[in-house]
Amino acid sequence: MKCPFCGAEDTKVTDSRDSSEAFEIRRRRECEKCEKRFTTYERIESHPLVVIKKDGRRESFSREKLLGGIVKSCQKRDVSMEKIEEAGREIEGSLSSEDKSEIPSSLIGALVAKKLKKLDKVAYIRFASIYKDFEDVTDFEKEIKSIKQ
């Protein structure tokens, strides 16, 4: 494993733990050259997921795109990157366990909305406004009322 700080190839594992995801191992590593520490995750490579978009197009599932959407929703909110990455791992795990190689984008959106609703209500409303295609202020009001109940 290359060090992300200095590029040296000699790193050692200082700690290994099972992650919250069943098929993932979290490893703390230390560079033997610059002595900086970093975390890596190893996961079992599963069948590639294909996302079916609303217009029928198909594209490869992108973990980065998933996390990017969550990060945008949580912008300027008190949600740590660790919580965002954990949500991303849990969503990806749910998708992988679907036992299907093609996943509708609506399922991904529903899973993200469910996670955001638990993490941060404002981030959830931001995401819902795009995911549910809000037309005007009344759509916001309805959604806010639904999360208050």
Average pLDDT over every residue of 132-144: 91
Q: What one-letter code names the amino acid at 100?
A: K
Question: Given its phi and psi angles, is residue 103 left (phi above 0), alpha (psi -120 to 50 degrees) or beta?
Answer: beta
Is the pTM higher than 0.85? The answer reads: no
> For 48-105, how does the pLDDT look when each residue is reduced to its tens digit (9 = 90+)?
889 999 999 999 999 999 999 999 999 999 999 999 999 999 998 888 887 788 999 9
Of residues 52 and 46, the one with the higher pLDDT is 52
The percent of residues in the chain predicted with pLDDT above 70, rounded, is: 95
Cβ contact 51:70 at 8 Å: no
How high is the pLDDT of residue 75?
Answer: 95
Q: pLDDT at residue 32 above 90?
A: yes
pLDDT at 22 over 70: no
pLDDT at position 21, please? 59
Segment 114-134, tens digit of pLDDT = 999 999 999 999 999 998 989
Q: Tell me the pairing of strands 102-104 and 24-31.
A: unpaired
Q: Using an 8 Å Cβ cutoff, are 77 and 124 in contact? A: no
